[in-house]
Structure 1
Amino acid sequence: MTNPRRFTFLLLDRFTMLPFTAAIEPLRLANRQAGQQLYTWRLVGPAGDRAVCSNGTALALDGGLAMDGPPPSRDEVVLVCGGTEIAREATRPVMAWLRRMARGGAQIGALCTGSWVLAEAGLLDGRKATIHWENHDGFAEAYPQVDLFRSVFVHDGNRLTAAGGTSAIDLMLHLIAEAHGDALAADVADQMLHTAIRTDQDRQRLSIPTRIGVRHPRLAAVIARMEANLEEPISPAQLATDAGMSTRQLERLFRRYLNRSPKRYYMETRLARARNLLMQTELSIIEIALASGFSSPSHFSKCYRAQYGSTPYRERGTSAPATQSA
């Protein structure tokens, strides 16, 4: 009988429940299916007594972040469970504790937005990693030293990151298979009714046809080009030419299936990216405008207000420059 491997879950305030439970349940089921204790786990957090997740549920913790506690084992895995407003959770005590665990040889990982805290602590510098797609653009701008991927999970040496949601199941099945074989991982997946085990090559988001509810190859190809070129938008005429159709045909295609013009759809996509950057980063308004394909803050502010009913400055609770209308 092998010594059980310990997982330590660091539950930050307002952590997301789904990826946490998706990570801990495969460990329980692996023990059950194997008929022996392969894994143990503990829950810790900055508060020391309990952690409250984003849906309001409170969980009792096994302890806090004592810096004078026993040193971590090289067989230990630490997983940071993040959620909403993650930037404020990257506190000095949290980062100091994580660095201590890393120095002690523990494998360090993160679920959902927990990758943000690892990056802020410098524990993902020069590493491959992933984060929830909604946070991808802001993370990429804030931490260019991290090699960021859009896959469901990434395993880079002694660093583990899962994008959130059910991707934690796939990461844990990957670790179970690595340690105890594919057959046990498959048994665990069967118990969870997880019928398609994803790998680190699978991407997070649904395909474009599934997302928009339309299976039209040309339309999907044009939207993919739009999403890949938000910082430097491509003109509708060029998009049409590259798709092998006229501008009028492209216009009709978008009107028929999406009830908006290509220009409007492109604008909405760029503004959605800008809003993510606005909410998740400390980038200036002009930096966000340029990163979203707008030539000036004033044009960006005007378009943003038309879409969301408020200016970027008001969303952030700041004032616009005196020379610019808000």
Structure 2
Amino acid sequence: MSARPVTCVLFVLLDQFTLISLASAVEPLRMANQLSGQELYRWYTASIDGAPIWASDGVPITPDSAVGTAPSADSVLVCGGTGIQNTVTPELVKWLRTQARYAKRLGGICTGSWVLARAGLLDGFECSVHWEWLAAMQEAFPRVTVSPSLFTLDRDRLTSSGGTAPMDMMLQLIGLDHGYELSAAISDMFVYERMRNEQDHQRIPLKHMLGTQQPKLQEIVTLMEANLEEPLELDHLAQYVDLSRRQLERMFQKYLHCSPSRYYLRLRLIRARQLLKQTPISIVELALLCGFVSTPHFSKCYREYFGVPPSDERLANPERAIVQKPVISVTRTPMPMSVLEHARTEATFGSVRNLKG
């Protein structure tokens, strides 16, 4: 296979960044190199001043450099975590704005998108952030479209929520750069059962969105979630919490910005999408399980909400390729070894060869 240009990624670590999000972003790059048998990606870490920095779980990390002396990168990803508002400095904002003029891709993971928004680098863009910060970002940055999606790729801005969501984003990027077979094989190596995409939303606790001031609304949504197969009439829902139908509709419009029937439909369609992607259940049976009176009605609602019919959604998930593992003789290599050199000792090194042209 002909050599490919190496994509360099710089991870900017902020104080109290979440370690799981960083690992979820880095590990797919390592595995891409291992499975392809060549160095497709190279990555570095930097802190603001180059000094050791602590993750939110107390693990200290020694970065490769300070941001001012970091090597040139194709992508710069800001890794945020807890207390993100206290980590933004004028120096960091100035440096990020400079990077925006030169980096091909600029992004953030977990709460890193808050920093980009503070620097004015997400104005006019859509972005993702951990659900704890959704409301705060919407309030603080009205020129930014904040999405509840697990991750968002908007032109040259790459943002993801926390936890394992950065892995989904990186798998998507690897697939775009080098083909689905490689990203699918990486997913298999990490025992990652399903690669999620930009249409997958974070599961945001309703009590977090509403606080403790709307117990009746929380109770109604709980009833809806428990009755997806046989949806309850809105009049019955209102009676359960001692409200009129009109009061119920006003409450949904005020706090959830939609009608109760629309919210109920959304819950059923999201459940249908999960079943469609994760089970072999037929579309006919799936429609009944999610409270639709007929398959055509289900297909129409599904297409209107997700933009594709359910049949196409299922066909869009290709079967995972079976990767043939070559036999590699392992020889002792003097320490220290680079990450790529260490990968060469693994049985799966070079096992994915049919990369995107």
Q: TM-score, normalised by structure 2?
A: 0.59
Q: CA deviation at 1:106?
A: 3.1
For residues 225 and 20 of structure 1, the distance between their equivalents in structure 2, rounded to whole angstroms, comes to 37
Higher relative contact order (CA 8 A, sep 6+): 2
Q: In the TM superposition, what whole-angstrom CA distance separates every residue of 1:9-65 from its partner, at most 9, and x where no partner exists?
A: 000000011110000000000100101110000000113031210010011111002
Structure 1 segments, 4+ long, off by >4 Å, are none
- Cross-structure match for 2:177: 179
Deviates more, 1:98-107 or 1:54-63: 98-107
Match of 1:106 in 2: 104
Contact 2:220 2:241 in 1 (8 A): no
How far apart, in 1, do the equivalents of 2:218 and 2:173 lie? Answer: 35
1:154 is matched with 152
CA distance in 1, matches of 2:202, 2:223: 18
Counterpart-to-counterpart distance in 2, 1:36 and 1:21: 21
Give the conservation status (yes or no) of the 8 Å contact 2:111–2:161. Answer: yes
2:136 corresponds to 1:138: yes
Aligned to 1:95: 93
Q: After the TM superposition, which residues 248-259 of structure 1 pair with which residues of structure 2 at under 5 Å, given as runs?
A: 248-250=239-241
Q: CA separation of 1:161/1:245 partners in 2, compared to 1, >3 Å: closer, same or farther?
A: same
State the SS of the aligned residue for 2:27.
helix
Counterparts of 1:121 and 1:225 in 2: how far apart (Å)? 42
Once residues 203 and 225 of structure 1 are traced to their aligned partners in structure 2, the CA distance between those partners, rounded to angstroms, is: 21
Q: Aligned pair in 2 of structure 1 residues 122, 225: CA closer, same or farther (>3 Å)?
A: farther
Give the AA of the match of 1:171: M
Residue 46 of structure 1 aligns with which residue? 48
Matches within 5 A, 1:233-312: 243-245=234-236, 247-250=238-241
Cα deviations by residue, 1:192-237 (Å, 9 ceiling, x for unpaired) = 11111000000011698xxxxxxxxxx98932899xxxxxxxxxxx
Q: Deviations over 1:121-160 (max 9, x none)?
A: 0000000101111110011000010011100000001000
Q: Structure 1 residues 3 and 247, CA, compared in 2 at 3 Å: closer, same or farther?
A: closer
Q: Are positions 1:24 and 2:26 aligned together?
A: yes
Q: Structure 2 counterpart of 1:64, which letter? A: A
Match of 1:203 in 2: 201
- Percent identity of equivalent pairs: 37
Structure 1 residue 104: Cα displacement: 1.3
Displacement after TM superposition at 1:246 (Å): 6.4
Q: Distance in 2 between matches of 1:106 and 1:200?
A: 20
Q: Distance in 1 between matches of 2:46 and 2:104?
A: 15
Alpha carbons 2:131, 2:204 under 8 Å: kept: no
Deviates more, 1:117-126 or 1:198-207: 198-207
The answer as to whether partners of 1:222 and 1:243 remain within 8 angstroms in 2 is no
Give the number of equivalent residue pairs. Answer: 228
SS of equivalent residue, structure 1 residue 199: coil
One-letter amino acid of the counterpart of residue 15, structure 1: F
Q: How many Å separate the matches in 1 of 2:142 and 2:41?
A: 35
Q: Distance in 1 between matches of 2:81 and 2:130?
A: 10
Please name the residue that 1:5 is paired with.
Answer: 7
- SS in structure 2 at match of 1:245: helix
Cα drift, residue 244 of structure 1: 2.4
- Tell me if 1:79 matches 2:81: no
Secondary structure of the equivalent of 1:173? helix
> Structure 1: which 5+ runs fail to align?
209-218, 227-240, 252-261, 271-326
SS of 2:113 mapped into structure 1: helix
* 1:14 maps to amino acid: Q
Letter paired with 2:101: R
- Report the Cα distance in structure 2 between the residues aligned to 1:55 and 1:146, rounded to whole angstroms: 30
- Aligned to 1:55, the other structure's residue is in SS state coil
- Is the contact made by 2:76 and 2:103 (CA closer than 8 Å) also made in structure 1? no
Q: Matched residues in 1 for 2:140 and 2:204: separation? A: 25
1:246/1:168 CA distance change after superposition, 3 Å: closer
| In 2: Cα distance, 1:204 partner to 1:64 partner | 33
2:274 corresponds in structure 1 to none
* Alignment RMSD: 2.9
